[in-house]
Amino acid sequence: MSTSAPEPTEVLSVDDLREAWDLLVSEERLSGFRALERTEAETFFLGLSSRDQSELLLELPQPERRSWLRLLAPDDAADVIQEAPREEWPHLLGLLDEPTRREVSALLAYAEDDAGGLMSPRYARTRPEMTIDEAIAYLRRQARERPESLYYAYVLDQEQRLLGVVSFRELFAAQPNQKVAEIMRTKLQTVHEDMDQEEVAKLFDRLHFVALPVVDESGVMKGIVTADDIVDVVREEATEDIQKIGGTEALDAPYLDIAFFAMIKKRGGWLMALFLGEMLTASAMGYYQAEIARAVVLALFVPLVISSGGNSGSQATTLVIRAMALGEVRLRDWWRVVRREFLAGLTLGVLLATIGMIRILVWESIFHTYGIHAGVIAITVGVALVGVVMWGTLMGSMLPFLLRRLNFDPASASAPFVATLVDVTGLVIYFTTAHFILRGTLL
């Protein structure tokens, strides 16, 4: 869909531009951006997402691109290049200075979701045999040359293997003539360069460090990952999970930015799959057609009964999916979850059954809706509700375990998926219950 742009773009302040940004088409973005004073424009540019930075960069005339790309730290520059079409990569890499280009090329070689794809190759380094005063002087020289991040100083040997780490606090607090080796911490928490970003995020969550060092198999230091990048990761992973729980594929783009047909594809796929599954309800209902014809009253409670199973299943599946994503529940906890959800399903089922039966009996006594068989109908609906809610709760809580066991993403056990599954089986539970309880009276 094309985006309309009601605001005029000539006189936009930096705040106006930020506000209006999402509504502007690319030419308007460009002219608004170029109208900004240079330092304001720089701050503005640094605040954009990698996607927007990339688009804006490619809109700019060739000669202007270099200084904007070089404004970025190597890991951010790598993100911007990653967002650009493949054929632009050589050109964009060519805009960088030689050492940065090597760093950025190395970063682009890592998969985006690995620790290597998150890390910055610029960090403060020192040697174990230096004195504190020497180390501080050395760091001052490094700061003038290039490192961008000064949270910890990493102590490396000649082969660039990581020996230890000193926080700036510790460095500053030590006696000037102590050796770095005396004060460095050697029990290190490191991140392997191939570690998945979700695992890296869990480490940050647990350890509360501002930065973690990234190393390869032989302990050679490759870079650092900082907590500010992890904020993005956590947000992104949560977005993917939420979208899957809602029954779509992860959009991988902001809702208003994704192209219409790309969105339809991500939603339509699941929706059709669910629809095909749900068709079994028509078959199940067809199987009980004779019962329905004899006692139409049975049909009245079909949506109520099966949706109760779907709702309790949605609750159970989202709780378990999220607990798994947070590492609170692991595969081997499945039996504890079964016991818990069995009891939860029973309690919730009895609760809903009680309300449902009261509703039927009250309506009968006021409106005489259900005739002389109101009592047995109430019992049928009540028993079916207990069964369906217990079944929904157990299915909803076990499905994420099953998916994880088969190496699928547990978040695919979306609320609509569980609801559909429970709709079909819920019908069978309901009509089987009816068959046994109403035999001889209504059926």
Q: Does 416 bind a copy of itself (CB under 8 A)?
A: yes
The CB-of-321 to a copy of itself minimum distance in angstroms stands at 8
x/- track of binding to a copy of itself for residues 335-374 (CB under 8 A): -xx-xx--xx--xx--xx--xx--x---------x-----
| Of the residues 25, 109, 299, 402, which one makes contact with a copy of itself according to CB under 8 A | 299
Query: Where in 201-240 is the site for a copy of itself (CB under 8 A)?
Result: 201, 204-210, 226-232, 234-235, 238-239
Query: Where in 301-330 is the site for a copy of itself (CB under 8 A)?
Result: 301-304, 306-308, 310-312, 314-315, 317-323, 326, 328-329
HEC states along the chain? CCCCCCCCCCCCCHHHHHHHHHHCCHHHHHHHHHCCCHHHHHHHHHHCCHHHHHHHHHHCCHHHHHHHHHCCCHHHHHHHHHHCCHHHHHHHHHCCCHHHHHHHHHHHHCCCCEHHHHCECCCEEECCCCEHHHHHHHHHHHHHHCCCCCCEEEEECCCCEEEEEEEHHHHHHCCCCCEHHHHCECCCCCEECCCEHHHHHHHHHHHCCCEEEEECCCCEEEEEEEHHHHHHHHHHHHHHHHHHHCCCCCCCCCCCCCCHHHHHHHHHHHHHHHHHHHHHHHHHHHHCHHHHHHCCHHHHCHHHHHHHHHHHHHHHHHHHHHHHHCCCCCHHHHHHHHHHHHHHHHHHHHHHHHHHHHHHHHHHHHHCCCHHHHHHHHHHHHHHHHHHHHHHHHHHHHHHHHHHHCCCCHHHCCHHHHHHHHHHHHHHHHHHHHHHHHCCCCC
Query: Where in 76-105 is the site for a copy of itself (CB under 8 A)?
Result: 76
The CB-of-96 to a copy of itself minimum distance in angstroms stands at 19
Q: Does 107 bind a copy of itself (CB under 8 A)?
A: no
Residue among 114 and 240 whose Cβ is closer to a copy of itself? 240
Q: Does 255 bind a copy of itself (CB under 8 A)?
A: yes
| Of the residues 94, 99, 286, 371, which one makes contact with a copy of itself according to CB under 8 A | 286
| Of the residues 16, 59, 88, 148, which one makes contact with a copy of itself according to CB under 8 A | 148
Q: Does 443 bind a copy of itself (CB under 8 A)?
A: no
Q: Does 402 bind a copy of itself (CB under 8 A)?
A: no
Q: Does 188 bind a copy of itself (CB under 8 A)?
A: no
